[in-house]
C-alpha cells in the first residue's frame, strides 16, 4: 500500500491499562525474541502515526519507552476508560487504538481503518455478533458519548455507539490486508501467549 508515513494527522493510542490477572504478570512486557510486546506494538504504530500515546492506569512502568504516557481519567473502566483518556490527550481528531499485547499490529491495516473512518466517528471490525474494539479508529467527537456512558455505569465499548456514527468494517474488507486476522490477536491467558509465540516464530 502506497502511503506517506508516519502521518501528522493521526494519533496512535496504545492501551496498556489491563490488569493481566489471567496472565499473572504484566503482559505488556512479555518478550518475543528479546523485545517486549509493547515495544513491538509501539514501533508498528509509530510507522503510521507521528504522535503515539501510551494510555495506562499507572504511568511509571511505561516511562522511557519513547512515547508520552497518559493516565486513565476513569480508572477501572477497561478499554472504554482508556479510549476516553487517549482521545482527550490526543492532538489529532482521529486516533488509531491498539492494545499493548497485540504484536501483529499491521500498519497497512491501521491506514485502512483511518480511511474507513472518513465520515464516521468510529470504524471497527464486526464479524457476526462480535466487534473488535482495538485495532480500530476513533474520533475526538466520541468523547461526550463515552463520558456519558462511563458516568452512567457502562463498561462495554459498544455502549456509546448508539450516540455516534459507526462504520462497521467487514471480514472480507479486512482480509484483503490481513488474511488470517492476526492483527486482532492479543494475549489474555498463558495458552494464548504460547499460541502467539508459535505464530511469531513461524512468521
Nearest to 138 by CA among 97, 188, 175, 170: 97
At residue 24 the predicted structure's pLDDT band, cuts being 50, 70 and 90, is low
**Residue of 128 and 94 predicted with greater confidence:** 94
What does each C-alpha distance from 31 to 6, 20, 36, 118, 157 come to in angstroms? 26, 15, 4, 36, 28
Mean pLDDT, residues 57-81 taken together: 93
What are the structural domains, with CATH classification, of the chain?
A: 7-202 (3.90.550.10)
Instruction: Output the DSSP codes for 108-129.
Output: HHHHHHHHHTTT-SEEEEEETT
Name the residue among 70, 93, 13 with its Cα closest to residue 46: 13
Confidence band for 147, pLDDT divided at 50, 70 and 90: very high
Is pLDDT above 80 for 17? no
Whether 25 shows a pLDDT value over 80: the answer reads no
Residue pLDDT, tens place only, 149-201? 999 999 999 999 999 999 999 999 999 999 999 999 999 888 999 999 999 98
Question: Which residues does residue 137 pair with via DSSP β-bridges, in sequence order?
Answer: 96, 123
pLDDT at 47 over 80: yes
Q: How far is the C-alpha of 199 from the C-alpha of 194, rounded, in Å?
A: 9
| Per-residue pLDDT reduced to its tens digit, 88-116 | 999 999 999 999 999 999 999 999 999 99
What's the pTM value of the predicted model, to 2 decimals? 0.94
pLDDT, mean over the chain: 93
Band of residue 143 on the pLDDT scale cut at 50, 70, 90: very high
Asked whether residue 13 carries a pLDDT value surpassing 70, the answer given is yes
Whether 14 has a pLDDT exceeding 70, the answer reads yes
* pLDDT for the residue 22: 62
Amino acid at each position: 500500500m502506497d502511503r506517506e508515513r508516519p502521518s501528522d494527522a493521526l494519533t496512535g493510542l496504545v492501551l496498556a491499562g489491563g490488569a493481566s490477572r489471567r496472565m499473572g504478570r504484566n503482559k505488556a512486557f512479555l518478550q518475543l525474541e528479546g523485545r517486549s510486546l509493547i515495544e513491538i506494538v509501539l514501533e508498528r504504530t509509530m510507522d503510521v502515526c507521528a504522535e503515539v500515546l501510551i494510555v495506562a492506569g499507572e504511568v511509571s512502568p511505561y516511562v522511557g519507552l519513547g512515547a508520552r504516557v497518559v493516565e486513565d481519567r476513569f480508572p477501572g473502566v477497561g478499554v472504554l476508560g482508556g479510549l476516553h483518556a487517549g482521545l482527550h490527550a490526543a492532538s489529532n481528531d482521529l486516533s488509531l487504538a491498539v492494545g499493548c499485547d497485540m504484536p501483529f499490529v499491521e500498519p497497512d491495516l491501521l491506514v485502512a481503518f483511518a480511511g474507513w473512518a472518513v465520515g464516521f466517528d468510529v470504524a471497527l471490525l464486526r464479524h457476526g455478533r462480535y466487534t473488535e474494539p482495538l485495532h480500530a479508529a476513533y474520533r475526538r467527537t466520541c468523547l461526550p458519548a463515552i463520558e456519558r456512558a462511563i458516568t452512567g455505569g457502562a463498561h462495554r465499548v459498544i455502549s456509546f455507539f448508539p450516540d455516534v456514527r459507526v462504520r462497521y468494517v467487514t471480514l472480507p474488507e479486512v482480509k484483503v490486508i490481513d488474511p488470517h486476522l492476526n492483527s486482532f490477536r492479543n494475549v489474555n491467558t498463558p495458552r494464548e501467549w504460547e499460541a502467539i509465540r508459535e505464530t511469531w516464530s513461524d512468521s
